[in-house]
């Protein structure tokens, strides 16, 4: 909602700082999170770089293979690594419900 803050860099940095503190408290690494200032109403930084936020030079996040960089929300979504699939392990399925069928 950067449009509601008049695309303020100070407000964005304040939110990043507060959110990073919370992320640390719950046990995650804030450096592994891409913080992207967006405006859904105007589409800023969603698919393409926004001219309304020239101060935003892009985001960087740490991953196992190094660092990933981007500028938009779409870049951040594309940078999400799929979880490892243990295909060499036995098949496991979640149990949803138990039915007793008489007969």
Per-residue pLDDT, 11? 93
Per-residue pLDDT reduced to its tens digit, 63-97: 888 888 999 999 999 988 888 888 888 888 888 88
Query: Residue 61: which residues within 8 A CB-CB, separation 6 or more?
Result: 31, 32, 33, 34, 67, 68, 76, 79
**80, two tokens:** 């999400």
Per-residue pLDDT reduced to its tens digit, 6-39: 888 999 999 999 999 999 999 888 898 999 999 8
């Amino acid at each position: 909602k950067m449009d509601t803050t008049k695309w303020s860099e100070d407000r964005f940095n304040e939110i990043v700082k507060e959110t990073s503190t919370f992320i640390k408290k719950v046990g995650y690494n804030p450096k592994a999170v891409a913080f992207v200032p967006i405006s859904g109403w105007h589409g800023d930084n969603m698919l393409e770089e926004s001219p309304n936020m020239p101060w935003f030079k892009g985001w960087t996040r740490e991953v196992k293979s190094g660092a990933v960089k981007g500028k938009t929300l779409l870049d951040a979504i594309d940078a999400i690594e799929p979880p490892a699939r243990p295909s060499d392990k036995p098949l496991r399925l979640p149990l949803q419900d138990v039915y007793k069928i008489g007969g």
